[in-house]
Structure 1
Amino acid sequence: MSPQQNLILVTGATGKQGGATARRLLADGRAVRALVRDAQAPAAQELAAAGAELVVGDFDSPDTLPTALDGASGLFVVPPAAFGPRGWDVELEAARGEALVDAARRAGVEQIVFTGIASIGDDTSWGATGKKRIEDAIAASGARYTLLRPVRFMENYLLRTSPVDGIIDGVHRHLFPADEPMKVIALADIGDIAARAFADPEGFDGRVLELAGDAITPPAAAAAISRTTGHQVRYQEISEADADALGGEIGNTWRLLRHAGGWIADVEQIREIHPGLRTFDTWLDETGAAQITALLDSDTVRTSR
């Protein structure tokens, strides 16, 4: 089957970045095929109800990829991450991504948009090695391509099980220096920018975009959350020793944030590409405050029982 100009295969479609991108593409009238492991999962069914075509496949089952890619002209790739107790499994992550890119090349996919991770000092300490190998494979594939490298998600305030991040007992605990701006981006903006790239393949071809939507100190972010949710939230900067205790890569990241100048993303550069780029306050007003409030209200009810 020859590629359909309007059809885009979205990987990670039931997750954060893939989901945001699939919804944006569907809203723009693009044909979306979502790669899912379980077509009956609620998130998959929500995409189907929104108009996406579902195809069952898995990075670890390479024989499912040609069918998923058949007829697609575009591919959105979320890195098939492999993170465990010992940190990033670089070889597994890279092999998964490289296999997908090779399948896309064989299928005649004309454009690939990949979302990885923002640059910060020595990338090998920040889980980027496998992603860089996937980026290299994409650049060598012959397809038009755009590489997105987002910073920390604003939605990470909703995390509940991470050793750092989220809000637990009124505290946002993280690696970031309390007195320096913390760069963040809304998931919806990643989807918006990916959709822009698919809408303008030539204009975005070969571009590497470090994505950030705002830069705000962690205490200022906590104050904004307190103001908009009615729950008092404070920021706690963890120590270097505590970061090291959570794992070597987390300890390395703690040091990189202080000694390598932080993420290199330029907010104003991204705003020129996407004028509707959300600030942290915009995200809170749109969806963030309501979601955080629901979580913190639930915590209050549970602890009062």
Structure 2
Amino acid sequence: MSPQQNPILITGATGKQGGATAHRLLADGVAVRALVRDPDAPAAHALADAGAELMTGDFDAPETLDAAAAGARAVFLVPPAAFGPNGWDAELEATRGIAVIDAAVRAGVEQIVFTGVASMTDDRSWGMAGKGRIEDAIAASGLRYTLLRPVRFMENYILRGSPLDGIIDGVHRHLFQADRPLQMIAIADIAAFAALAFDDPDRFHGRTLELAGDAITPVAAVAAINRATGRTVRYVEASEAEADELGEQIGNTWRLIRQNGGWHADIPALREIYPALTTLESWLTTTGAALIKAQFDNDRRVAAR
């Protein structure tokens, strides 16, 4: 097998970013090896049906990572979230990510593309600490690498199980200022940038890309959702006290947004790299409105039981 034919190992392959990247690469005719914890999960079956090679492994079982990395030419690294009642577990997140980097180095992998989170400041305390340590380890690994830092996902409008984000009972509640532009990104576009980096490792080596596709105020965003779905959604900006009640790090993020103006991805520059960058309107037109309406309908059925 030639180096170009060797597979790209996708971690987090049954998750949002990993799954989108795996399917994007498969659609482009790229060999994919998907790291999965449960090969019988529906998302794993979907990857196998699309042509991916499944490899059972776990970030918390480092001995499984060497076999997963063996023979791969590149790795897409997205460690599982390590956020609990006490906030971000930076140590666990860093340990998981560095274990994959070490396995990649031992296996002779040529390239890593890591997706973390966009930065609001150089201070890593609000949620960047673990990801920052992973980025530092990648830069020191000697491998070709690209660091992706996506902002909030457009798909978060259908998020469930969180006290913030999503649309619950017609309300979208978040930390962001109602009248200030909020940067957002479609998950498919994260996959598109990863695919570009894998296709041209030299061009993207050493680059850090803050990723966003649109910047629109939360109030304007729900107005666009209302037009696209025919449903009624309103935005509620959480107060500082409400943010503090959700935990120290959430409260600190509320204040950080107001001190630093939020994320700062250069959207025009990103569009030069990838002209098909998704806006909120285009996301709603293609997939978003249907997803949100389906969520509304499901919530109504649950409430009627």
TM-score relative to the length of structure 2: 0.97
| 1:102 aligned residue | 102
- Aligned runs of 1:1-305 on 2, under 5 Å? 5-305=5-305
**Retained in 2: the 8 A contact 1:79–1:131?**
no
**Secondary structure, counterpart of 1:40 in structure 2:** coil
By how many angstroms is 1:2 displaced? 8.7
**Retained in 1: the 8 A contact 2:5–2:31?**
no
Counterpart-to-counterpart distance in 1, 2:254 and 2:131: 20
Counterpart-to-counterpart distance in 2, 1:51 and 1:282: 29
Counterpart-to-counterpart distance in 2, 1:75 and 1:302: 40
TM-score relative to the length of structure 1: 0.97
For 2:17, give the aligned amino acid: Q
**Retained in 1: the 8 A contact 2:59–2:79?**
no
- Mean CA deviation greater in 295-304 or 56-65: 295-304
- Alignment identity in percent? 70
By how many angstroms is 1:145 displaced? 0.3
**Secondary structure, counterpart of 1:125 in structure 2:** coil
With over 3 angstroms needed to count, the CA separation of the structure-2 counterparts of 1:4 and 1:62, relative to structure 1, is farther
Counterpart-to-counterpart distance in 2, 1:239 and 1:142: 45
**Retained in 1: the 8 A contact 2:98–2:134?**
yes
Counterpart-to-counterpart distance in 1, 2:92 and 2:168: 32
- Mean CA deviation greater in 236-245 or 253-262: 253-262
- Mean CA deviation greater in 80-89 or 210-219: 80-89
By how many angstroms is 1:82 displaced? 1.4
Stretches of structure 1 that go unaligned for 5 or more consecutive residues are: none
- Mean CA deviation greater in 192-201 or 117-126: 117-126
List structure 1 segments (4+ residues) > 4 angstroms apart after TM superposition: 1-5
For 1:163, give the aligned amino acid: P
For 1:210, give the aligned amino acid: E
Counterpart-to-counterpart distance in 2, 1:163 and 1:154: 17
With over 3 angstroms needed to count, the CA separation of the structure-2 counterparts of 1:105 and 1:72, relative to structure 1, is same
By how many angstroms is 1:84 displaced? 1.0
**Retained in 1: the 8 A contact 2:5–2:30?**
no
With over 3 angstroms needed to count, the CA separation of the structure-2 counterparts of 1:274 and 1:4, relative to structure 1, is closer
**Retained in 2: the 8 A contact 1:181–1:218?**
yes
